[in-house]
């Protein structure tokens, strides 16, 4: 088993929270690895915060590969302690064969593991990726790649039926061989129940504090994307403000304005 993944399992067994942040380029990956983050997620969220797309459905495999290579280089130069986890983007895992082919490309680009949106509906893909020797994390709850179908980002697990379906998804992906499970916008009580009922680590985003770990988009943590601020994310810096302050200072000096 991958040493980094074994460490995540050990974290769950001793109730040590897992810290996950997104990274999309060399410098952020190196800085975060040096800071001691457990997992670097090259998320397809780069579509919005880096490429300016309206959602993740426009992100291509070529773009994911480009950013994966940059993050892998940064993590390596930062000491290489963090697990580099990369999203399989929209349309890249519609069949088991496609899932394996694209997961293989991501590993060749530097990923240690891949993440796949879907629960019981994607068991065949998870089994195929695992059979190919590639660790895979499943992603259930709100799935951003379904945002156009669902008409927005909606909290999951509000009804007994939804909660039961999420629990079924969790057990299905664990049985299929997923090493971990990301829970997005899941009712906290439901996320806590899932976390207690599976043997694999759960990573929450907007799913309460009882998951085995937490993930946030780096830009939300450091204030680098001021045009949208998720309610569940605590901004711990104002990097956008500092960039604009420094740029204005440079402009003023260059133009010799008072």
Show the DSSP H helices in the chain as ranges: 3-13, 26-35, 46-49, 61-77, 96-108, 123-131, 147-150, 160-176, 188-197, 218-222, 239-255
What's the token pair of residue 31? 């800085």
d(CA 220, CA 230): 7
CA distance 199 to 170: 10
Domain 3-216 matching CATH 3.40.1280.10: the answer reads: no
Residue closest to 21 by CA, chosen among 3, 36, 6, 7: 36
pLDDT tens digits in sequence order for the chain, 258 residues long: 589 999 999 999 999 999 999 999 999 999 999 999 999 999 999 999 999 999 999 999 999 999 999 999 999 999 999 999 999 999 999 999 999 999 999 999 999 999 999 999 999 999 999 999 999 999 999 999 999 988 889 999 999 999 999 999 999 999 999 999 999 999 999 999 999 999 999 999 999 999 999 999 999 999 999 999 999 999 999 999 999 999 999 999 999 877
Cα–Cα distance between 76 and 30 in angstroms, integer?
A: 7
The residues assigned a catalytic role are 184
Spatial CB neighbours of 81, under 8 Å, sequence gap ≥ 6 = 33, 36
HEC letters along 119-159: CHHHHHHHHHHHHCCCCEEEEEECCHHHHHHHCCCCCECCC
Contact 173, 129 (CB under 8 A): no
The three-point CA angle 25-33-8 to 5° equals: 115
């Amino acid at each position: 088993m991958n040493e980094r993944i074994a460490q995540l399992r050990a974290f769950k067994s001793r109730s040590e929270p897992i810290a996950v942040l997104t990274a999309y380029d060399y410098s952020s990956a190196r800085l975060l690895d040096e800071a001691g983050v457990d997992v670097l997620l090259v998320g397809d969220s780069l579509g919005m915060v880096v490429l300016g797309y309206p959602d993740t459905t426009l992100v291509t495999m070529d773009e994911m590969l480009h950013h994966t290579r940059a993050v892998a280089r940064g993590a390596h130069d930062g000491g290489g302690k963090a697990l580099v986890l990369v999203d399989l983007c929209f349309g890249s895992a519609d069949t088991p064969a496609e899932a394996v082919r694209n997961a293989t490309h991501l590993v060749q680009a530097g990923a240690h593991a891949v993440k796949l949106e879907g629960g019981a509906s994607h068991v065949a893909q998870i089994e195929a990726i695992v059979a190919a020797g590639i660790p895979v994390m499943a992603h259930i709850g709100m799935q951003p790649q379904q945002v156009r179908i669902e008409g927005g980002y909606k909290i999951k697990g509000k009804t007994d039926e939804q909660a039961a379906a999420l629990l079924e998804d969790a057990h299905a992906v664990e049985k299929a061989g997923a090493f971990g499970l990301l829970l997005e916008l899941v009712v906290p009580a439901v996320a806590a129940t899932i976390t207690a009922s599976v043997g694999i680590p759960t990573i929450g985003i907007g799913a309460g504090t009882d998951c085995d770990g937490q993930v946030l988009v780096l830009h939300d943590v450091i204030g680098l994307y001021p045009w949208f601020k998720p309610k569940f994310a605590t901004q711990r810096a104002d990097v956008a403000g500092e960039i604009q302050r420094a740029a204005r200072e440079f402009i003023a000096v260059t133009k010799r304005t008072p």
